[in-house]
Amino acid sequence: MHVDPAVTHRVALALVLLAAACSAYTDLKTGRIPNALVAALLAAGLALSVLGGWQTAAISVGLFLAVFTIGTILFSLKLIGGGDVKLLAAGAATLGWPDTVAFLLYTVLAGGVLGVAITLARGRLRPMLANLRMMIFPMLLGLRPAAAPTAVGTMPYGLAIFAGAAALFAGKLPALF
C-alpha cells in the first residue's frame, strides 16, 4: 500500500501538536503528563512510520531510544520530569528525522525562556544562578559538583514542549498547504 509521505508528515505534525497541547494543559493543571497520552502518541507515530517502510520505522525507533536515553540521564539529574522525557521521546518517534532536531531545539529554547520567566516571577533568580554556577564550573573542570543544588521550584515543562511543537508546526505551515 502506497501512502503519500507528505500526508503522513502532516498527520505526524498534527498529532504531536495535539498531544503537546493536551500535555501542556494537564501539566499546568495537575503537574503530570498522562502515560495514556504518551502511549497513544507513540503508537500512532510508530504506525505512521511503518507506512513509510521499514527504514523509516527503524529511524523512528532509533530516535525514540536516543531521546529516551538522553532524557533519562536528564531525569536522573533532576533536570526534567519523567512524563516530559516520555512525551519528548514519543514526539521524536512520531516526527522522524530531521524534524526531531528542530522540535527538540525549539523545546529547549522555550524551556529556557519559560524557566527564566518563572524564576523571575517567583523572585528566585539569585538561587537559580548560584545553582548554575555550582553545577557548571566543576563540570567544565571535569569535576563532579560538590553539593546538590538548592530547590528553586518546578515548572510545567509540558508547556515548553507544546511551544516547541507549535514553533515547528508554524515553521512548516507554508510547506504544508
How many beta carbons lie within 10 A of that of residue 90, not counting itself? Answer: 27
Are the CB atoms for 164 and 24 separated by under 8 Å?
no
pLDDT value of position 2: 62
What's the mean pLDDT in 121-128? 77
CA–CA distance, 13 with 56 (Å, rounded to integer): 16
* pTM for the full predicted model: 0.83
Phi, psi (deg, nearest 5) at residue 112: -65, -45
How many beta carbons lie within 10 A of that of residue 4, not counting itself? Answer: 9
CA–CA distance, 60 with 137 (Å, rounded to integer): 36
Are the CB atoms for 48 and 62 separated by under 8 Å?
no
* DSSP code string of 36-61: HHHHHHHHHHHHHHHHT-HHHHHHHH
Residue 24 has pLDDT above 70, yes or no: yes
Range with lowest mean pLDDT among 16-25, 64-73, 123-132, 166-175 = 123-132
Residue ranges of domains in the chain = 5-176
Question: How does pLDDT run across 149-173, given as a tens digit for each residue?
Answer: 555 557 888 999 999 999 999 998 8
Confidence of residue 78 (pLDDT cuts 50, 70, 90): confident
What's the mean pLDDT in 19-32? 95
Are the CB atoms for 71 and 89 separated by under 8 Å?
yes
* Inter-helix orientation angle 99-121/82-95, to 10°: 150
pLDDT value of position 153: 57
